[in-house]
Amino acid sequence: MISQEEQKKYNDWVFQISAYQMALALISIDKMTVAPPAGGPYRDARTAWLSGEKFSLETDPEMFRLLARMKDDPDLDGDTRRAAFLNWQKAARTVCIPKDEFVASEELLNQAYDAWLRAKMADDYSIFRPYLEKIIENKKRFYGFRGSSASIYDQMLDDNEPGMNEAKYDAFFADVKARLIPLIQRISAVSPIDDSFLHRFYPAAQQKKFTNEHLLPYLRYTPDWGYQNETEHPFTYWTCEDDCRTTTKYLENSVTSSLFSTIHEVGHATFEHNIDPKYDGTILAEGVSAAMHESQSRLCENYLGRTTAFWEANFPALQKEFPEQLGGVTVQQFVRASNAAVPGLLRTEADELTYPLHIVIRYEIEKDLFDGRIGTEDLEQVWNEKYREYLGVEVPNSRDGILQDVHWSEGSFGYFPTYALGSAYAAQIVHKMRQDIDVDEALRSSRYDICMNWLKENVHHYGCRYDAPEIIRRATGEEFNWNYYLDDLEEKYTRLYQL
């Protein structure tokens, strides 16, 4: 039995952690958008200290014992037991790490982001490599503290998506490669889709005007709860359900880059905004699995944002903003070009069909890094070889190759596979959504909110009250089945290219 005094102590503890999380999130947003780089060392040291104070709270021995009791207390409601379990599990994974080493690691990660950004701007992997080496060493050391019999990379995969491991991802990616690589090869043998008009000169200021005045309102991403900024690598952060921040990046030679980036990131933000408000400030709101979160951003980007119905509502305004670039283009031509399968260098710019191969490359590299088969000195060469093997493209520089993604500078290993897994979740979810509501009519009539309300009711509001497989079961009435994803890609691209 948990006493009233213990319940109050728990509630105060949850509030204190949420306060630190809010402060750290706002500092991170500022760092990656508008903060002057010269102030980095000062900010990084103090941010690491704040992270250390949060770490002390999360691993407090007295609270750890209380959480252990709460997670199994039948007198508590299911939400409280689930939250206690997740907090206890999180503490159990980190309590073994010495605080001074944790703080030093946090400062390293802050420095690594700065180094990654410098390296990318300078097109020089050697600037970032020493930081990456230290991050990997720290990860191996910290996971070693757990004393788990599972491999380090299996533990990383499970941390990002509970229940997933190398064996399960290997089976998934084996099917991805077996079914999609031949399709990509068949497409490469036919006449390409003309997408040249997407790469004319599109001034960033006008792109931003269209996004702010038309696209964001269409997506129901309103200033009372959302805000969009710009950064080198688009991301979404949130402090609570009513404060969700997204970023995008405007490329003046690619009008669709910022468009689909915005739709993707607003998908993340909408998920957070729609979580049951009673979970605000608790781990039930901020602990959603990575693949479930990516399922919602990928669903919005690809299964809604790349449809003809979506652009029937939005293309006239885009065409009006760019009459010279798009004046002679039809909505059908725009949608067809936006879905063209063209193997390329950049994951974030990739089409639906080639995208999962970008994930396969990162997954295989991460496995080899943590299994000791390759080191950071081999990384760029291995990266370039895999891009040649899987996508048939030559990597001309570090900026568009090994340095293109921010994730490793943040220590986010085991995260990349969730992009592909999330896409597979999305395919199954949208299949059921289309059975329940007229998705195309909602998009065509600028009622994007109808789709979001369905997702809110069937996916978003749960937060992480349930794990991803259970949310899939509740939303679709079936166990997870990645064939929805592969079947959809095969059908779409066979039809698009008339194979």
Q: Which of 58, 241, 265, 366 is catalytic?
A: 265
Which strands sit side by side in the sheet containing 236-240, from one edge to the other?
Answer: 226-230, 243-248, 236-240
Contacts of 110 (CB under 8 A, 6+ apart): 31, 40, 43, 44, 47, 48
| Residue tagged 């009513």 (tokens) | 242
Single-letter amino acid code for the residue at 189? A
Residues 380 and 401 sit within 8 Å (Cβ to Cβ): yes
Q: What are phi and psi of 219, to 5 degrees?
A: -75, 0
Q: What are phi and psi of 231, to 5 degrees?
A: -160, 170
Residues 429 and 459 sit within 8 Å (Cβ to Cβ): yes
Is 265 an annotated catalytic residue? Answer: yes
In this structure, what DSSP letter does residue 466 have? S
Q: What are phi and psi of 245, to 5 degrees?
A: -110, 135
CA atoms within 13 A on the CB side of 116: 25
d(CA 350, CA 342): 8
- 243-248 vs 226-230, strand pairing mode: parallel
Between CA 209 and CA 216, with CA 210 as vertex, the angle to 5 degrees is 105
Residues 225 and 241 sit within 8 Å (Cβ to Cβ): yes
Question: Token digits for 199?
Answer: 């790469």
Give the residue numbers annotated as catalytic, written as ranges: 265
